[in-house]
Structure 1
Amino acid sequence: MKRYGHGLVLGKFYPPHAGHHHLVRTARERCERLTVLVCASSVETLTLDERVAWMREIHPDALVVGAVDDIPVDLHDPDVWAAHMAVFRSAVPEPVDAVFTSEPYGEELGRRFGADSVCVDPDRTLFPVSGTAVRKDPVGSWDFLEPPVRAALTRRVVVLGAESTGTTTMAGALAEHYRARGGVWARTRCVPEFGREFSELKLAELRALRPEATWEDVTFHSEDFPLIALRQAELEEEAARAGSPVLFCDTDAFATTIWHERYMGTASPATGEVAARGRQHLWLLTDHRGVAFEDDGLRDGEHLRPWMTARFHTQLAHTGRRTAVLTGPHEERLAAAVAAVDALLAEGWDLADPPPTFGGGTPIPERR
């Protein structure tokens, strides 16, 4: 089997899937070094930077570069080919020895690069998936996606509320409900509240010095809250990479900003910055009314719950976060939560189509 010095794989990777990765890995095995060129159009939903970052993570042994290519696609127009090649050569100026594709245009692409054209699994027998199929039905294609892509597409649902309003119970119940649907949904995860673990550790550290200490003796500092928010976000990201198309979170960085207000009396810009980077889609606010207060030794008191509920509600609305308020007994709350989540999932992912191809054939550089 012939080996090459410098190989090239180019594609939209919109989004990248198992077929793309097989193509890249095959090329890497046959080349001393490999460049992967990610081409994106400005009309497409997933950004070029996202796709480049995903491909770099998944293929660290290849050089991954990106280019914006908004030129119309017409495989039978030499001038259009020349315009695309100008984009490609600007991104990959070094000589190319082999171009690896799974498309009919591979021969012409190789000729224009002055390189061999190597065709890999053109009938998609090893991985029956395409970018078009993933965009149309991410759930049905979930097993063909790598962790960073899954994390980006996962619909993230946050359950938040005042103390002792059932957030942990609700988040767990929702995860169990969707796991019961089977298939890809069986991997649905629930992210625990890191703030509680942090609080337990604070109390334990204090009791190591003063065995008689209680929760009332614990002191929080402003710098604690960005740390809590960051770790919460990390746990969420880890779960999204390994889970199903929906993820349930028992609080998030946004909720941590409200807890900072509760303990410090002011907003926390640093915690707010963490919250602003979040990728959540739906917030389920558990009302305190109708839920008995239970003091588990890490709670401040029932009298604070009305203020917390109101503050969550106000800030969720002020920041434009999609919210459903859960009221009534647990069964009613769960039914309302499932309805809100199902409505979110039913909306789909709304991934825009790439630019159309004129003159027939497969668009450059989409792998269908």
Structure 2
Amino acid sequence: MSGERFGLGVVVGKFLPPHRGHRYLIETALSRCERVVVIVCGKPVDPIPPELRAGWLREMVPQAEVMLIDDRYDENDSRVWAENTIGWLGRAPDVVFTSEDYGERYASYMGSKHVMVDQARIAVPCSGTAVRSDPFAMWDFMDPPLREWYAKRVVILGAESTGTTTLSMDLAATIGTSWVGEYGREYSAIKQAGGESEWRSEEFMDIVREQTRREDAAAREANRILICDTNSFATVQWHRRYVGRPFPELETFAANCRADLYFLTGDEIPFVQDGLRDGEHLRHEMHQWFEGSLKSQPAPWFLLRGSREERVKQALQIIRDLWGPGALVPRNGS
């Protein structure tokens, strides 16, 4: 059947998560079928929501039709799978593409042909189990949506002129990964240039939404670790600084932000005026605000002090200790 063409082809699986081996399987089906339906099986208890996996597949292989089915299925009964598939599609497929032993049996119950694709995982040496077990080791077999999900987010925060941007750039360059600048600083520069000095709470919501959007986009290009120069959690403290009262909407947004590790930059270094900064008089107080807020959230955090080089060295060692040497693999260009 190496050159045979088909009408309706089916690829079925959990895709937990969908990696480049799955993409290879689906693209093989697409190359030989007029129409391909990918059936994603999901249950609420899955470690990655099935709706998310289906969305990733639609992005990864937009030529295929992705169908998400609910949790009412029997994982181990090929006959039930076959009956359900016919019901889901409204007819038996002409061919089934799999990389698994069950494929021939499953296809036979529907009277469909079966094409085995890379069962030995030679073309793409990857599996969903391997990705879940060690995503860093499987990084080169992930497409951008999956990298966004698995990238560890390291957030640098601190009071004004404590070296957050310098450390962010240095860490990203040393690791060979993406970093996200502070959108709030861009916003402040535009505001200041327009002669505005009063801040409204709603402006901080605009800032955190854009900051988070940029963070998610950068995570797709990250090399295992994403460096973030501030995030929405830190913005809560800037709202406190400029507005002076709680803002529940912002605090709720910040409570749901993604952060795997925080580095707080020490305030022992000299204050440098850059034309935008206005908080030298309360820099130490703000440092204490950050320290207090970090103690009340669940992600690990560490205070970094010392020279520029010493801070980078400390940060790299902490990352190794937390996630192993696999977190600091050089980018291979894929």
Within a 5 Å distance, the mapping from 1:219-368 to structure 2 comes to 219-288=198-267, 290-346=268-324
The question of whether the paired residues in 1 share the 8 Å contact of 2:78 and 2:105 is answered with no
Describe the SS at the equivalent of 1:173: helix
| Change in 2 beyond 3 A, CA 1:35/1:269 | farther
CA change 1:8–1:276 in 2 (3 A) is farther
- Match of 1:242, SS state, is coil
Tell me whether 238-247 or 318-327 shows the greater mean CA deviation: 318-327
- Aligned-partner residue type, residue 304 of structure 1: L
Letter in 2 for 1:262: R
Q: What's the CA shift string for 1:210-240, capped at 9, x where partnerless?
A: xxxxxxx523222211111111111111211
Distance 1:328 1:347 in 2: 24
Partner of 2:170: 173
Q: 2:182 aligns with which of 171, 189, 193?
A: 193
1:101 aligned residue? 98
Alignment of 1:21-60 (within 5 A): 21-40=23-42, 44-60=46-62
Matched, 1:61 2:63: yes
Distance 1:151 1:110, change over 3 A: same
Matches of 2:250 and 2:271 in 1, distance apart? 28
Tell me whether 151-160 or 331-340 shows the greater mean CA deviation. Answer: 331-340
- The verdict on how the C-alpha distance between 1:5 and 1:275 changes in structure 2, with shifts beyond 3 A counting, is farther
**Bigger mean CA deviation after superposition, 329-338 or 313-322:** 329-338
> What are the superposed Cα offsets for residues 283-336 of structure 1, whole Å, 9 maximum, x if unpaired?
111122x11111111112212212211222222222323211123443443333
CA RMSD in angstroms comes to 2.6
Q: What SS does structure 1 have at the residue aligned with 2:274?
A: coil
2:7 corresponds to: 5
- In the alignment, the residues of structure 1 paired with residue 5 and residue 255 of structure 2 have an alpha-carbon distance, to the nearest angstrom, of 47
The structural deviation recorded for 1:114 is 2.8
Seq. identity, %? 41
Question: Which residue identity lines up with residue 111 of structure 1 in the other structure?
Answer: S
Q: 2-side partners of 1:286 and 1:237: how far apart?
A: 23
Confirm or deny that 1:119 pairs with 2:97: no
Q: C-alpha displacement at 1:278, in angstroms?
A: 2.4
Are 2:86 and 2:93, in contact at CA under 8 Å, matched by a contact in 1?
A: no
Partner of 1:203: 192
SS in 1 for 2:114: strand
For residue 294 of structure 1, what is the amino acid of its counterpart? V
In structure 2, how many angstroms separate the alpha carbons of the residues matched to 1:199 and 1:165? Answer: 18
Which residue of structure 1 aligns with residue 332 of structure 2?
none
Q: 1:312 to 1:85 in 2, by over 3 A?
A: farther
Aligned residue pairs total 325
Q: For residues 86 and 45 of structure 1, what CA distance do their matches in structure 2 show? A: 27
Aligned equivalents of 1:265, 1:5: Cα separation in 2: 65
Gaps of 5+ in 1: 75-79, 180-187, 207-216, 350-368
Aligned-residue offset at 1:88: 4.9
Equivalent position amino acid for 1:122 in 2: Q
SS at match of 1:156: strand
Tell me the TM-score normalized by structure 1. 0.80
Aligned equivalents of 1:296, 1:11: Cα separation in 2 = 55
